[in-house]
A and B are shown apart, each in its own frame.
Chain A
Amino acid sequence: MNLAETAKDILKNHKAEFIIGYSKGRDGRTKPFIAKDEKGAEKLVFDHFSVNNLAVYLTRMEKPKGGKIGIVAKGCDVRAVNALIQENQIKRDEVFIIGVNCSGVVNDIDGEWNKENTQIKCKYCQLRTPNIYDILVGELEDFELPEDGQQLLMTKIENMNAEERFEFWQNEFDKCIKCYACRQVCPLCYCEQCIVEKSMPQWIETSASARGNFAWNLIRAFHLAGRCIGCHECERACPMDLPITLLTRKMGMLAGKEFGYRHGMDPSQETLIGSYNIKDNEDFIR
């Protein structure tokens, strides 16, 4: 069965009360869409332009009483669903996951699908088929991998001294306009009150100036340490093109290297931050 037929069946048999998925807008864009009935289900699509991580809506929507939320999820999105389960934000039996085989998504949603216009995360993706789902749809197809330009930049930054690194980030953070699109699209940024909204005292300056921008971007990165599941939605949403996934990706790599941990891979696993093991590596702590 294709996605639309699957979705119709799910709604008809109340396996989920509504389905968060993608549909084509009148402007030609593939965009988030909520199918509430069978007619809506017919509009559901999945293609290379289905960029959004829809798991972000799971913590922002009212849960249907006595029913489940259906969600169309690629591998990277399923990691977010798993992470939310691990972090006790949702329960596994509150969601019906329609896993989709994903053969890469675009960077520029108004461009053509090709090698140059493929997200970096697709280069090192290990979950083209989601690892957790209630039903799986779609076929995998081969696609040409993009250059991992981010890895090159990361190596370059690693070879910089402290002053050069500071300058690099200062130049980048200077562009930040504090629209908080990075926070709002992040499925793991679900705090009811974000630390930047705490004004008594004001921990983080709200100004989009050097100090306030540094504080915000670093706090955001730290709060996602070992928690980021690498959907790169923050960077895609950023209107100023800040390379912020450099930070979250690097921290994810460190969590892997130092603790053998990848967040959102197994919904029953304890989180890295929320668990303690006497054998944990600690020689890197200075």
Chain B
Amino acid sequence: MRSAREVLLSPFQATKSFAQRLMGRRGIRVREAVAYISIVRDITERKRAEQELRRVNRTLQTISKCNQVTVRAADESHLLDNICGILVRSGGYRMAWVGYAENDEGKSVRPVAHAGFEEGYLQTANITWADTEGGRGPTGAAIRTGKPVVARDVQADQSLDPWREEALKRGYASTIALPILLNAHVLGALTIYAEDPEAFDSEEIQLLTDLSNDLTYGIQGLRTAAERNRTEAALRQSETTLRSVLKAAPVGICIMKDRVFQSANDFWYEIIGYTEAELLGQTTRRLYESEEEYQRVGRELYTEVPKRGLISVETRLRRGDGAFRDVILTTAPLNPYDPSAGNVVAIHDVTERKRTEAARRESERKYRELVHLANSIILRWTPDGRILFLNEFGQRFFGYTEAEICGRHVIGTLVPETESNGRNLSPLMEEICANPTAFEQSVNENMRRNGERVWIAWTNKAVPAKQGQVAEILSIGTDITARRRAEEAIREVNVSLERHVAERTAELALARDRAEGADRTKSAFLATMSHELRTPLNSIIGFTGLLLRGLAGPLNAEQTKQLRMVKDSGQHLLALINDVLDISKIEAGQIEIANAPFDLPESIQKVVQTVTPLANKKQLPLIAQIAPDVSRITSDRRRVEQILLNLLSNAIKFTERGEVTLTVEIVPGTSHIPHPAVRISVADTGIGIKRENLGMLFQPFRQLDTGLTRQHEGTGLGLAICKRLVERLGGTISVESEWGKGSTFQFTLPIYPERKS
């Protein structure tokens, strides 16, 4: 029994509602009814005020704890968790939770914190704040109305129909839902469940309402703090971003206050050529060439900025290394309402651009000058014939101003429709347009503004557009009118000249025919005469020779002597006849010159052998020096031998003592004889020739010193023949001599004859 009493006493202290419930169930639950009932009555009456006080105290304590948590809470979810926990632990409630009203379609209430005996209740409760069955419970109603809603007895309250069974299972006997209002907006609700029905009287409701208000402040405070933190973080991020942007920007940016450097990005220092340490806190004066420029830029930038907000000025700055940079400074106030906050100044280095621009301007100027002042007509025109451009020279030449000619069609302005000679120029222009490459060069008649016709030689070039079509045609023209006139004059002169030449040629041909006829007659006469003269001579010589050999019988000394004289005279006469015939033929151009390769040393050898008996007779050494590179030449072998024989015979004939030297060598081409030649010299130590006689040496019948003629018999035609033959063979002959000392005859022959047309 004692134990039963003790057991009974203990729950009694818990709540007023418990006692009430106990009384209502006494017949069912309590077996020892007598003792029990008397005790109950006694306690209820006595303890009411005391119990009420305790309860209020506890509630106040709970609120106080909640307030402490509210003040200390670092974040919202912690705060809510703690509040719910305190309500259960300290307030003695069965369960407490916080739900936030979601603005989703079903207006659901999302549990964000709970404490106490929950056991999955919230997950299955599907509480909403809509005005539907699921939203008519205390939580939904409190959110909707913004006022605390109490369900005094879960068992009886109809609004709790959807949840009753689950609520009772978990021992929720009564409940209160308190709206959480944030800035007149219902954020959600704090809902508390008690084990007893009628657990929430008006006093408790008031206290719990206060609690929920405090909670609201707490949430608000936390949210404000969180918002502030977020803002600060965003600001920090923004600053970081800005710093990165400034660092990366390809433009120099600095902050300036009263023209004193505050800060700048890397690019600024790069352009300016100073380090941060050198510039920070300094004025910009040192960057300017002169005080005047410093002042000017200052005036422009800082007096205008307040008015216009953003201003640019171009100037020249001296870098740290002394080099100058052309820059554009652009400035804006940091705070438009507070000029003292300073300025942001962007610097843009335009040195290269200016240099390039200047170069381009210069190049353009030169090009323009070139095009305009060139002493050529420069014309640009479209494929359909319209004039795009005509340079100054062209304008002066044709007599138009730029405005008068540009845009007009070439035909009818610069190009007449037909040339003076009747050629239609329209098709030509079309052909040039259609296929400019085929008309790189064209010559046609053009027209000045005053109608004067001029001849122009054009060079045309197609300037292609993108798709290979011709965008325009560039034509450069040269005035060839004067040249053409001159050419025409020359043509006319040529025509009359040709006529004259033809007439004259006819006359000459006639004369030539006559002359040739005469020559033929002369030649025939010479041949006949030679034959007629020689025939008797041959028998005279032949018979004297025959008699001298004693073939016709013995002769005495006187007869022999006289016959020899007859024979010598006959031979002399024969030589004369031969030479006269020879020279006549040469002079008449009637000798035929053979051009065949032959071995020159061999020919020389032959001639030397022929004259050796003569030299031996006079006991004269005959020396032949033939250079090793002398070999075959192309000439007339017989004529060469004839010349050589003549010269050697002469040399021996006119030399009594000493020697005769024959030298043969190759000489390279000279300005006179452009091809290699062979030079043959015959030197003697004979009587020589007087200077005054050298000139007539090669003339016919000029054998010198008639006193010697008898001694040195000859026809007197030998050297004349030699000279003519050498010349006919393409060579030259000359003589050097000193009277009494000797002579040197020298002749050259081309190794190959020159081709003659």
Q: Do A and B bind each other?
A: no
Interface residues of A (CB under 8 A from B): none
Interface residues of B (CB under 8 A from A): none
